[in-house]
Structure 1
Amino acid sequence: MAETVELNNGVRMPVLGLGTFKLRGYEAVYRALDAALAEGYRSFDTAAVYRNEGDIGRALKELLPRHGLTRPDVFITSKLGPKDHGSEARAACEVSLEQLGWGYLDLYLIHWPGKQGWQSEDLRNREVRRESWEALEEMYKSGRFRAIGVSNYTLTHLQELLGSCKVSPAVLQVEYHPRLVQNGLLSFCRETGIHLQAYSSLGTGSLVKEPKVRDVAERYGKTPAQVLLAWALRQGVGVIPKSGDPQRIAENARALDLAMKPEDVLELSSLDSGTRYCWDPQGVV
């Protein structure tokens, strides 16, 4: 599983990684990461709000030597918590680095376009976004972050950022699946050199039961989850399926083996209904 994408600053990032949302407790983290490394995963996605950065850093320190790997062999992503937007951003970046314990991160994202506790329509959100990005730029220029980006940004938020940033975002991480086909956002990212990465590829589990997804899976002899991941990968969209189950971690890895036909990609895309299973950032000014 060596498939990677070259980001706009030349850093290479695996197109498939392990998501760790809701993965709590050292034993659970260790078990999931051990299984993932054994299956060839080299990218791990966490965030300050997941409250597992420390466990992930500790587990990787133990596991990498056992798998014959060193720190440069893996790609670690974390994210700025919404409560730390603005003047607290730089200190929060340092906390993530300290928790993970490696001295640098491969990718760091602003997790949400608004500040926790503020109304979505509060115009101060624009100012804290700018302050937070400046903090990420400082960390990037110092070499502590190899790449920086954003999560849950809309097209409007991205355009605002590109109008003022000194370092362009390398990655946009958003909810993206056949019921939420954000073609306009994907096209904009392609035009501006931003890599789109999907979370909630399975629609929090709902999409694996979708008849059309099951039909496509049967034709390929794959699981519905593998088909949903391959659907995004076929479009050049990265995926970070989350799981703590070794069997599912192994199954998800096989999505890279599925060369889905364009007509099947289109068939699944026809499910688009604008449905979100997670958070909706569209109201954040």
Structure 2
Amino acid sequence: MNLQLSSGNFIPLVGLGTFQIKNPEDVKRSLNCALSCGYRLIDTAAVYKNEQLIGDCLPSLLAEHKLTRDDVFITTKLGPKDMSRDKVSRAFEESLTKLGVGHIDLYLIHWPGRQGTQGSDERNKIYRREVWTALEEIYLKTQKIKSLGVSNFTLRHLEELSDYCKVMPAVVQNEHHPDFQDIEVVEFCKKCDIHLQAYSSLGQSKLVADERYKSIAWKYDKTVSQILLRWSLQNSRSVIPKSVQPAHIRENISLFDFEISESDMKLISDLGKSTKYAWDPDHVS
């Protein structure tokens, strides 16, 4: 299933995350399993160090599954070390080359600060503006980026971006799960027609067997992981769960044959305990 972004392009609601998957055999096996059970979104990043591995095996896997490049939505991200205007174009073209594609479906600024710069350094604001402006040029003048977005941006970063951008982000990809619901960012995204994509939907695996959700999972004859991912979908977020285990890859996309009741959705939200499991960008000026 897909959702239409403000850019006009359609994004699959469930994708395969590839963070920390660096072994060539793991990459190929994960992609093969994902494509076979219906995934059509692959999420990577320059800092994951696996763009080349994905690019190496994708053509043969697409052919094996009778798919074309246009059948697959590819997301990648500008790394923090390239957060300056003079590095954007080269870094972007490098990702294109490694992935072996002519365009990126969604290109994100991965982090609001520049590597090697203190989070409190006010120059981070300048870097963000310069980089977004450079990406807008690629987006508006070429066909190489289909949708633009950001990742790990707080409300403050998003409000600042909205003051100067020509193109609003189509997607914000942030940590999101019942323990970190980030209501202010959710509301901003709704107001500005930005799609919020959830990463770490399972709290970096800390929530997959959480006792708080076991009775709800039992009620629907699903796993806790499926309940948490479905909770995100029903809250209009797409998800990009990561796994190298075929059983888990299949499980993580088996989300469309049930619906969580309104009362149980509220219960899941209310059980959240305000805990962030991934890195925190709040300190970045």
With the shorter chain as reference, the TM-score category is over 0.9
* Structure 1 residue 271 displacement after superposition: 2.5
* 3-state secondary structure, aligned to 1:257: coil
Runs (4+) of structure 1 moved beyond 4 Å?
A: none
Partner residue in 1 for 2:95: 96
Provide the aligned length of Structure 1 versus Structure 2. 283
Note if 1:7 corresponds to 2:5: yes
User: Which deviations, in whole Å up to 9, do the C-alpha atoms of 1:151-198 show, x marking residues without a partner?
Assistant: 000011011111101111000000000111112211210110100000
**Structure-1-length-normalised TM-score:** 0.97
Q: Which amino acid aligns with 1:210?
A: D
* 3-state secondary structure, aligned to 2:39: coil
Q: Is the 8 A contact 1:90 1:132 kept in 2?
A: no
Q: Which amino acid aligns with 2:280?
A: D
Partner residue in 2 for 1:244: 244
User: Which deviations, in whole Å up to 9, do the C-alpha atoms of 1:222-246 show, x marking residues without a partner?
Assistant: 0111001001000000100001111
Alignment of 1:51-200 (within 5 A): 51-87=49-85, 88-141=87-140, 142-200=142-200
User: Which deviations, in whole Å up to 9, do the C-alpha atoms of 1:79-110 show, x marking residues without a partner?
Assistant: 00001001212211111111111111100000
Partner Cα distance (1:233, 1:91) in 2 = 35
* Structure 1 residue 50 displacement after superposition: 0.1
* Structure 1 residue 76 displacement after superposition: 0.1
Note if 1:29 corresponds to 2:20: no
User: Which deviations, in whole Å up to 9, do the C-alpha atoms of 1:21-69 show, x marking residues without a partner?
Assistant: 0111221111000000000000000000000001111211110011010
When structure 1 is superposed on structure 2, of 193-202 and 179-188 the one drifting more is 179-188
* 3-state secondary structure, aligned to 1:22: coil
Partner Cα distance (2:264, 2:84) in 1 = 44
Q: Which amino acid aligns with 1:246?
A: P
Partner Cα distance (2:245, 2:181) in 1 = 28
User: Which deviations, in whole Å up to 9, do the C-alpha atoms of 1:101-139 show, x marking residues without a partner?
Assistant: 111110000000001111111000000001111121122
* Structure 1 residue 257 displacement after superposition: 2.5
Q: Is the 8 A contact 1:208 1:214 kept in 2?
A: no
* 3-state secondary structure, aligned to 2:196: strand
Q: 1:19 aligns with which of 12, 17, 29?
A: 17
* Cα RMSD (Å): 0.9
Partner Cα distance (1:272, 1:132) in 2 = 35
Identity %: 49
When structure 1 is superposed on structure 2, of 48-57 and 248-257 the one drifting more is 248-257
When structure 1 is superposed on structure 2, of 50-59 and 133-142 the one drifting more is 133-142
Q: Which amino acid aligns with 1:96?
A: S
Note if 1:277 corresponds to 2:277: yes
* 3-state secondary structure, aligned to 1:256: coil
Partner Cα distance (1:132, 1:54) in 2 = 24
Partner residue in 2 for 1:230: 230
* Structure 1 residue 205 displacement after superposition: 1.3
* Structure 1 residue 272 displacement after superposition: 2.5
Partner Cα distance (1:223, 1:43) in 2 = 22
Q: Is the 8 A contact 1:30 1:59 kept in 2?
A: yes
Q: 2:48 aligns with which of 47, 50, 54?
A: 50
